[in-house]
Chain A
Amino acid sequence: MLANASKKTLLALVLTAGLLPAAPLAAQAQDVVIGSLRNVSGSAQIVRQGQSLPAQSHQQLMRSDVLRTGPDGSLGVILRDDSVLSLGPDSELALEEFEFSPVEDKLGLVTRMTRGTASFLTGKIGQMRPEAMKVETPDATIATRGTQVLVQVSGR
């Protein structure tokens, strides 16, 4: 009897939890311009909130965009903190986190690279707070200290 009651309570709790608004997937707003594309050539796409858009030079980039290039594709990026990135062919890079508000002391640049080749040149975020800039790959985390770095991630 008691066991039955607690089961009911549990069920009620589960149901209530289900009614609560779902936690946002990303803590940061996604409609923020964080930079723009340069030197786009060959096949290249921006994946924005699940939708794939053709990438074009001088197009604006939003937080959480994923950049993708095909076998003949390559592209360059200048972010709002003056960080400079580029991707070679068959590459994928997610712009996971971007915060550049020195006045509010909010600084962060985290990218996730899942395949291909890329270059990264530190901008103001990395200069102001080196530990705020990171590149994640499936095999390691890359932390730059004011510099230019090349990264290659092979398919698996």
Chain B
Amino acid sequence: MARRIGLTVVLLSLLTLVACAPKSVVVLIPDPDGSVGKVAVSNPGGSQVLQQAGQATFIEDSQHAPQAPVIMEQAEIQRRFGPALAARPLPPEYFFLYFHRNSIELLDTSLAQLPQILKAIKDRGSVDVSVVGHSDTLGNDQYNIRLSRQRAEAVAQRLTAQQVDPKTLEITSHGKRRLLVPTGDQVGEPRNRRVEVTVR
């Protein structure tokens, strides 16, 4: 008799567990740069905001509000999300290279950055690199489209000379239409004379 009651209790608690097991979990983790953002989780039952690293909310179903945030231990995060975390691609890396005035010659400081770009391409096994040329507002539109195109091509050439596959480079130019530092027309601004390289 006692045994039967015991079995019933076990079965009942199992049923309760199954019925109440939350269906979704949302966990906030830091960005690659270490900063922590914010995430709002909401459904018809209510909502919760996570804003601390490791905070998690469990959600039973769409009719029950997300539960009060709790801290999920690193080991538990790994247990649940290990394979997904391991499959994350490296985030894209950005490089800004600057040029002498009215020229496709790189500044020495920018020339010194080329090895870092090559390393980023290699580390990612990247097949998706954009090389986008820009200029300041000295001269007319057409002139600057051509100049910024030549700047992008000069950078691309330096990359392909170091065994980067040309097919993986997307070379474009915007002339003076996308200023990094807003200025009026016919203004020489060194920070606008640039090529932006994005390694994905």
Contacts and interface: CB of A to CB of B under 8 A. Distances in A.
A26 to B, nearest CB: 24
Interface residues of B, number: 44
Contacts of B84: 74, 86-88, 91, 116-119, 150
B154 interface: no
Contacts of B28: 147-149
A152 interface: yes
Interface stretch (B86-94, B97-105, B133-141, B155-163): B86-94
B183 interface: no
Contact of A121 (B36, B60, B91): B91
Contact of B38 (A145, A152, A156): A145
B82 interface: yes
Interface string B122-135: 00000110000000
A122 interface: yes
A154 interface: yes
Contacts, number: 148
A144 B156 CA distance: 36
Q: Is the interface of A mostly helix, strand, loop or mixed?
A: strand
Given A121-B31, A150-B81, A39 B127 contact: no
Contacts of A84: 88-89, 91-92
A141 interface: yes
A151 B36 contact: no
Interface in B16-36: 21-32, 35-36
Interface residues of A, number: 42
Given A143-B39, A151-B25, A119 B59 contact: no
Contact of B24 (A58, A75, A151): A151
Contacts of B36: 147
Contact of A142 (B26, B29, B85): B26
16 contacts: A39-B88, A78-B92, A84-B89, A87-B84, A117-B81, A121-B88, A139-B61, A140-B62, A142-B26, A142-B39, A144-B37, A148-B31, A150-B27, A150-B29, A151-B24, A152-B25
Interface of B: 21-32, 35-43, 50, 59-62, 66, 77, 80-89, 91-92, 127-128, 198, 200
Given A86-B84, A146-B31, A148-B32, 9 more contacts: A39-B87, A84-B91, A86-B88, A88-B81, A117-B84, A142-B26, A150-B84, A154-B22, A156-B23
Interface of A: 36, 38-39, 41, 58, 74-78, 82, 84, 86-89, 91, 116-119, 121-122, 137-154, 156
